Structure 1
Amino acid sequence: MLVPPVKLPDETELAAQAKAVPMLGYALALARWAAPHRVVDEFGDLVEADRAPAARLLGLAPAEGEVSEEDEIEALRAWSLACDLDLVELGTTEAGEHVAVPGPDLEPAEEGDPETVLELWLTAAGIVRELAVEADSLPEESEEEEAEQAADGDEDDEDGLNELEEAREAAAELLDEALQVLYETTAFAEPGNETVPLGVLAALLVVPEGEEPSEELLGDITDVMVALDPMLADLAELGLLEYRPIDPELFDEEEGEEPAVVGEAPLDEEESARFGLVRLTPLGQYGVRQWLLEDGYDAPLVGDLAQGDAAELLRAVCESVNVLPEEELVVWLAGREPVPAARELLAAARGTDAYAPMRRVLAVEALRLLGADAEPAAREVLDDPELGGATRAWLSAIGAADVPVPERQMALWTVVDTFAAQLLGSGGDTELRELIADLPVRDDPAAWFAEVWRVDHPYTADVLEAIGELHPDRVTAKEARKAAFKARSKQS
């Protein structure tokens, strides 16, 4: 199971972001406040007398004056989180008092130890995720329905529990799918464009790929949005998301009006935002990635393959099925001098093995990333039979002067090598069709293919077969297939 690679800040920066999350900060503050010990009730909760001071300590209530019940409840939530994270530990004194004392993780967490802080944050995020699912799956029942269930007895209780469990599983599945879609969407988003309208997220979960939403699906999209809204808001409290919730007025049914349905009419940016906006934060990417890894997904980080020398980099990128090649090149090139880096990559690109065409394409892509500073290294291999054609094309593309035109044999070999790289690395036929459309074969296909099938390249026959299969012109396709047969006979 694969998800795309993502870029994450280092653990020190992620830990700093985690410590800045208010709810985690509250839990740390209350754990320190518990030193050397603090009396609690039999359930481990703060006693009545400590609730208002706790709210004031956290800045939830003014230093003087009455503390509201809502502020005390918020303080109790933070205390509960501190207990769940073992930032405070519960025990009993010899006199039988229930007390809480700071736990062993408090001090390293306060000092910002990345491993400790991230482990605490991830545990907290998991707790909030579970609570969000539980809250979403609770049925909304009237007093009459509750009275009827109480009268009906144990059988209805069992049915109710089964329904509750099914609802919980459905809510958990929906949230997990939504988080994975956000993770994948964020991985491919341009910096600054990671925010996703909630309606778009819901549509990605509901509408089959390649289909337009039907009227029925539009209603399903709205239902999914309404279900996700409170769960995403809960996760935003832990810094996993930045979330603008649905404007409740959108779904208030006025007399004689239908409730809003997403997608029924085009919306401007501001109107669309009223339906909810969600962005997975870097901390959220970290958390979702950990959950994906636990579920058995291959969830690499950008730069995982860029740790060795040029040969190791190119081999790893070519052999991986889950990689963003340009991103790995960018990481590898960072901090390296352009000319030595280009020389190392070009040297590693040589060869006639199965992945060699892909390595050469990657090496030229690295030249593009390095820019004109890499020109000296490219000029050193102009006469290399494997690299000369591609480096001459790159030099011409950047406007370099005095670039010699490649000999015919070198030019044809480079064409075959370029096609071979697409055959090896392309996920579809689009790039191949674009290359085929640019082939200089219109005037005399037979003559051109007569030259190509003689090219001494391991992939000549494969390339000609692909051209024969995909070329839109029947005559040209036929000549390509005939040439492929001759190339295959020549190899055997």
Structure 2
Amino acid sequence: MANSGNGGIFDLGELRNLIDELGSVSGEEREALLAEMAGENDECDCGDCEGEVLSFPPVELAPTAELACAVPAVPLVRDARRLTEWTGARQVTDEGFLSPGDAREAAETLGLSDDRLRLVWIVAVNAGLLRITGAGASPGPGLPADLMDFWDGVVMDVLDRTDEGLTGSAVADEHLTEMLATIYATSDGITYTALVEGMLQAHEIGCEARAPEMRRLREELPGELDTALDLLAYCGLFERTADSVRLTPLGVWAVRQDLLREGHDAPLLSEVASYAELSAVELVEAMLSGEAPSSAPTLWVERRVPEEAARELIKVAASGTAGQRGVIGTVLEEMGPEAEPAVREALAEPSMWRHAAVWLGVRDLEAPVLNEDDGTWLAVDTLATLLHIPDAQEAMGEFEALEAGEELLRLVDEISRSGHPDAIAVLELLGAHHPDATVAKAARKAAMKARSR
């Protein structure tokens, strides 16, 4: 489902499947279909997901002064300063590196491998610790006053080296960004075994690796990853225990900077803590307006008993608008079976029982069977969230299932016969804003039919 940032509940294409199929299936087939509707089995192959905005749990950073004091102690930074002192004023190659003889001497003196020496040199030069001119290399002014900006540049230099073989593991280099983001999202760290399995899965899916390659990697990756983690610990990003890996405080700071640079939602705990104290109505309105970051609902739920939180949300949804039901549906999807009693009570609510039935069904809990009319009603309710979004036309473009085609034209016709109170408003919205002239015309015609009824 396209992420509109305003919490729609279902993918309209999957609702189309519901309309066509849900009334005629039962048992395991029905459960599988419901799971697909809820997105539990979705795997995007569109190739555009690299631009998707991701949301990460809020983090609490160490005090800036404490972080700054830790920068000079990072082994990579320490060695960059040692290399600067050793180099002094010295001739360099046309590529701006030490001559082969000097490089061997530096590596022996500083106790560095050739690969690490090159990384240390790059960091020293890019950070201004060493200056390269036509006359050769010479010491720069030393560490700058803004150590956190300096540290940010060091980490960028490190991450930029993945294309040239940073860690010694092609798989680790290929998926380093994913690995950092995954560990960032797990404040308690991740076990070494889980990290290996996650890297294997990411490589198998993301790179479409075949069975022979995966068999080889299962044997080789643990050792490769062990070496890679040592390098990343040397760079100040990771700290390891006997069986787990986590980001250092400097690593958390640096990864968050990189996530923010890429446009992802990576809030501080202090930025979202206030949302945990809101009432359900206030939270929903903050989400609808776009004021609340996407991580706010998770924190709100964590601070409450799940059943009570679900009941509070459902009360708002039962008497609220489709827009409110949309964002509430997003929050409810974060809850597990412990919220079942409250969701089951929602089966008695006219505007919520279909949503509740789907919620129960995807969790393998007993739920009413939905028919084609119910599917159309859900489709209208999902589209009606656009009526409550400030820029509906822009948000409409993010609903991939609204792309022109026979499927959408059929859905438009069925909406005109729906008993949903927002059916005509949805058709008018499509008629006024859908970029495809055929769809817009069909929606206006369907709205006229619906009004005449």
TM-score, normalised to structure 2's length?
Answer: 0.45
> Per chain length, whose mean CA-contact separation is higher, i.e. which structure has more relative contact order (CA < 8 Å, sep 6+)?
2
